[in-house]
Amino acid sequence: MTQEWTVEKTGFDTADIELHGSKYLLGNGFMGYRGTMEEYTAEQLVALNLAGFFDLARGSNWRESVNAPNPLYTAVSVNGKELNLSRIAPVFHKQTLDIKTGIHKRETVFPAGEVNITVKAERFVSKARENILALKYSVSADKNVDIVIKTGTDKNIWNISGNHLNYTDETARGDFSELTAESVQLKKPLKVYEKICGLENIVNVGLLHTASVALKANEEFTFTKFGGVYHGDGLENSDADFLRAVNFGYDNLKDEHIAAWDAIWENSDVVIEGDEEACAALRYSIYHLCSIAPRNTDKCGIPARGLSGQVYKGAAFWDTEMFMLPFFRFTDADVARNLLKYRINTLAGAERKAKEFGFEGAFFAWESQETGDDACTLFNVTDVFTNRPLRTYFKDKQIHVSADIVFALWDYCITTGDFVLLADGGLKLIYECIRFFYTYASFKPHKDRYELLDVVGPDEYHERVNNNAFTNAMVKRAADIFILALEKVKTDYPESLENLGENLDWAYDFAKKLYVPAPDERGIIEQFDGYFNLEDVTPETLKTRELKENEYWGCHGLASQTRTLKQADVIMLLSVLKSDYGREIKKANWDFYEPYTEHGSSLSACAYAIVAAEIGYTDWAYKYFMKTACVDLKGDSKQYLGSLYIGGTHPAANGGAWNTAIFGFAGVSFANDRLDISPRLPENWKSMSFKLNLRGERLEIRVDAKGAEIKGAAKTKITVYGKEYKK
Ligand code: IFM
């Protein structure tokens, strides 16, 4: 990043097209628009990815999020030759994303024979009107020249598995076009509008308009464009809504869009004094979280790759609850509530899944789309040796997801004080999850305890293990939460108890007797039964054993019989249930597990960073914080799982960066109605300032090496390094 608020690159390399599509992403929670050039098409991975809209790709049984046709498509030709950056080496090129305002710009000087043509474009996906996109496009030349502008709605967009739409109507009238489509299987309607202002003598072919313009030397020709994308409830008044936006005009739309972003930053900005690079990377992470947050709906979760495309089928994973929700519950409780309501709304899907696998209660999807049914396949990875799908057990054994959701839901209630959510379906969700775990668990009479056998923990390289420490501890926490939530509802919302079973003794017994692996005499928690007996090999050694690029280490691959783990597992547990484990235990486990961890998932480094900050390994904490915060800036994360493409943005890491800054470096914790702040900043950080919303109070917090200053906490009880804070 060149400045704290700007991502910018001067120069052009075709190799960057894929990375930049994600890095320069615009989004507003309803749609994501990749950071591609206006003249790009499917080949350069143009995508307008829609949140919460899923269907099959034509001719396949692959269900993924739907990409809409591109209403901002625009290209310039000179003498019949299109000025396409992916094919013509530019004289100059600059791409910019202003993360404060969510505005994307490009400036490209194309050589066109004797003439240099400059294209400047500015665009945004409105943060104030979720269906609207707008573009301002200018062309100039250093000599008089005739150009042809081609603009319109382009259907030739990137789709991983094929088109999801059948087009039912396409109309172009003058400077306006309208496309109506329906999704392939469910026949869900979609409308895309497009309107141009400032272009004359237009000739229409299909949804594309062309116009010839005689450019005068060094005089800029400018026009604007508006796009409208509608599905679901928005369709009802889409004609009028789009027209209103067009009539409002580009500059007004831009102003209200910037004002909407300002309001978001007002609550969510974090200022790091003394380290511009870290500050910029953290802001960039926050930008992504806010770009994809479902602000106006509780019908969809956040996809694991945000709105950058269809990777992982556009589905939501545990990433949302464990990595992103903390940011939202402290900065924008409405978004946090929407995300949790989405889980409540999809409880029926989780119940169907439990039943399908022979259990009761709610087994939430590993990959959740709009109904909560699991989009995850049983074969998630393609073997690079045989090109055949490999059986993975993410869907059927990664049961911790149900506990993660319970954990996040309770944390939301505690942080915001919104316990009404329990009456609003929250308690029922918790109850069904605990019922699922109870039926999944095995009771061992000779040990008088319940065990969780045959599971997959966060570390996906070791499948079908017994008593994974993270899973057991999270399920135990979920069972304890059920009892707390039940008491709360009994007292405050007794009417919502009626849909729970009469006799709940089993739940108390389960909470009491569920086995949670304890630290051994060295203080180390065994990741799962028998982990310590595995071959003592680190990822570096495993790498030397690889026979092929992108070889998958899980399933029966290289890592499975060794101690090498894909991502934080025990350390994830320690980063989450932090008050259950002391510093010495954290240190012993960090030292033990760190060398074995590949960080093959972008979810891993932040867990190590948070625990490192807590145990005083500040340099490590900083290193892993920057790895997390820069993941989408550098684009150096894994792009393939076997031969499966997994590129795009990484919202879990974006959330993990915020979690590290706030919970790790600022040492924020909220428990027993008390906020504690115990800062341990990296040496070069003079201070860090941020805001937290806590039970209706908006706290302004500044931490430095000496402690913390807090404004706005009239009711909140606060301690700093465990000592009462004098307000
Ligand atoms: O949820 C993660 C998982 O933990 C590791 N693989 C990628 C998933 C989506 O981010």
- Contact status, residue 651 vs residue 639, Cβ threshold 8 Å: no
Partners of residue 152 on adjacent β-strands: 73, 208
DSSP string, 103-120: EEEEEEEEEETTEEEEEE
598 lines ligand 1 (CB under 6 A): no
Domains in the chain: ranges and CATH: 6-266 (2.70.98.40), 269-305+314-665 (1.50.10.10)
Q: How far is the CA of 415 from the centre of ligand 1 (A)?
A: 26
- Contact status, residue 304 vs residue 319, Cβ threshold 8 Å: yes
What is the CB-side half-sphere exposure of residue 235 using CA atoms within 13 A?
A: 13
Give the whole-number percent of the chain exceeding pLDDT 90: 94
Q: How far is the CA of 298 from the centre of ligand 1 (A)?
A: 22
Q: What is the mean pLDDT of the chain?
A: 96
pLDDT at 489 > cutoff 90: yes
**CA-CA distances (angstroms) from residue 134 to 121, 225, 309, 697?**
10, 6, 20, 36
Q: Which residue out of 603, 638, 649 has the highest number of ligand 1 atoms within 8 Å of its CB and is therefore the one to mutate?
A: 603
Q: What is the pLDDT of residue 637?
A: 79
Q: What is the pLDDT of residue 2?
A: 56
Q: Among all chains, which residue has been given the structure tokens 């392939």?
A: 184
Q: Which residues are catalytic?
A: 460
State mean pLDDT over 457-462: 98
Q: Which residues contact 509 (CB under 8 A, 6 or more apart)?
A: none
Q: Which residues contact 73 (CB under 8 A, 6 or more apart)?
A: 38, 39, 41, 46, 151, 152, 153, 154, 208
319 lines ligand 1 (CB under 6 A): yes
- Residue bearing the CA closest to ligand 1, atom 6: 601
**CA-CA distances (angstroms) from residue 19 to 14, 24, 634?**
10, 9, 9
- Residue bearing the CA closest to ligand 1, atom 9: 304
- Contact status, residue 320 vs residue 399, Cβ threshold 8 Å: no
Q: Among all chains, which residue has been given the structure tokens 């509530």?
A: 337
The dihedral built from the CA positions of residue 19, 20, 24 and 29, taken in this order, carries a sign that is negative
**CA-CA distances (angstroms) from residue 445 to 442, 451, 513?**
9, 11, 11
- Residue bearing the CA closest to ligand 1, atom 4: 458
d(CA 117, CA 107): 10
Give the SS3 label for residue 11.
coil
Q: Which residues contact 255 (CB under 8 A, 6 or more apart)?
A: none
Q: Please report the atom of ligand 1 found closest to the CA of residue 652.
A: 10
317 lines ligand 1 (CB under 6 A): yes
562 lines ligand 1 (CB under 6 A): no
> Among 521, 127, 51, which residue's Cα sits nearest to residue 308?
51
Q: What is the pLDDT of residue 1?
A: 67
Q: Which residue out of 305, 310, 317 has the highest number of ligand 1 atoms within 8 Å of its CB and is therefore the one to mutate?
A: 317
Q: Which residue out of 288, 318, 455, 601 has the highest number of ligand 1 atoms within 8 Å of its CB and is therefore the one to mutate?
A: 601
State mean pLDDT over 715-721: 95
pLDDT digits (tens, 9 = 90+) for 259-297: 999 999 999 999 999 999 999 999 999 999 999 999 999
Q: Which residues contact 64 (CB under 8 A, 6 or more apart)?
A: 54, 57, 160, 161, 164, 310, 313, 314, 375
> Among 705, 631, 629, 620, which residue's Cα sits nearest to residue 280?
629
Angle subtended by helix axes 469-492 and 427-440, to nearest 10:
140
652 lines ligand 1 (CB under 6 A): yes
pTM over 0.85: yes
**440's tokens:** 């999944």
Q: Count of residues for the chain? A: 727
pLDDT at 363 > cutoff 70: yes
Burial of 519 (0-12, 13-18, 19+ CB in 10 A): middle
**319's tokens:** 């990433």
> Among 262, 245, 210, which residue's Cα sits nearest to residue 134?
245
Residue type, 128: A
Q: Among all chains, which residue has been given the structure tokens 């269907």?
A: 55
pLDDT at 213 > cutoff 70: yes
Q: What is the pLDDT of residue 646?
A: 86
Q: How far is the CA of 341 from the centre of ligand 1 (A)?
A: 22
What is the Cα Rg of the chain in Å? Answer: 26
318 lines ligand 1 (CB under 6 A): yes
pLDDT digits (tens, 9 = 90+) for 300-330: 999 999 999 999 999 999 999 999 999 999 9
601 lines ligand 1 (CB under 6 A): yes
d(CA 24, CA 122): 12
> Among 719, 667, 712, which residue's Cα sits nearest to residue 694?
712
Q: Are strands 723-724 and 687-694 parallel, antiparallel or unpaired?
A: unpaired
Q: Where are the alpha helices (DSSP H) in 309-468?
A: 319, 325-331, 333-345, 347-356, 394-397, 400-416, 420-421, 427-440
**664's tokens:** 């790790």
Residue type, 719: T
State mean pLDDT over 456-467: 98
What is the CB-side half-sphere exposure of residue 487 using CA atoms within 13 A?
A: 7
Give the whole-number percent of the chain exceeding pLDDT 70: 100
Q: Please report the atom of ligand 1 found closest to the CA of residue 319.
A: 1
Partners of residue 223 on adjacent β-strands: 137
Q: How far is the CA of 23 from the centre of ligand 1 (A)?
A: 19
First vs last Cα of the chain: how many Å apart?
38
Q: How far is the CA of 428 from the centre of ligand 1 (A)?
A: 27
> Among 346, 280, 332, 412, which residue's Cα sits nearest to residue 127?
332
Q: Please report the atom of ligand 1 found closest to the CA of residue 603.
A: 4
Q: How far is the CA of 317 from the centre of ligand 1 (A)?
A: 7
Q: What is the pLDDT of residue 498?
A: 75
pLDDT digits (tens, 9 = 90+) for 49-89: 999 999 999 988 889 999 999 999 999 999 999 999 999 99
What's the gap between Cα 154 and its chain centre? Answer: 27
pLDDT digits (tens, 9 = 90+) for 642-699: 777 888 999 999 999 999 999 999 999 999 999 999 999 999 999 999 999 999 999 9
Residue type, 560: S
- Contact status, residue 107 vs residue 220, Cβ threshold 8 Å: no
pLDDT digits (tens, 9 = 90+) for 545-586: 999 998 999 999 999 999 999 999 999 999 999 999 999 999
Partners of residue 68 on adjacent β-strands: 48
Task: Select, from the ranges 2-6, 216-220, 634-638, the one with the highest average predicted confidence (pLDDT).
Answer: 216-220
- Contact status, residue 480 vs residue 432, Cβ threshold 8 Å: no
603 lines ligand 1 (CB under 6 A): yes
d(CA 407, CA 481): 7
Sheet with 31-33: strands ordered across: 26-27, 31-33, 48-56, 63-68
Q: How far is the CA of 448 from the centre of ligand 1 (A)?
A: 34
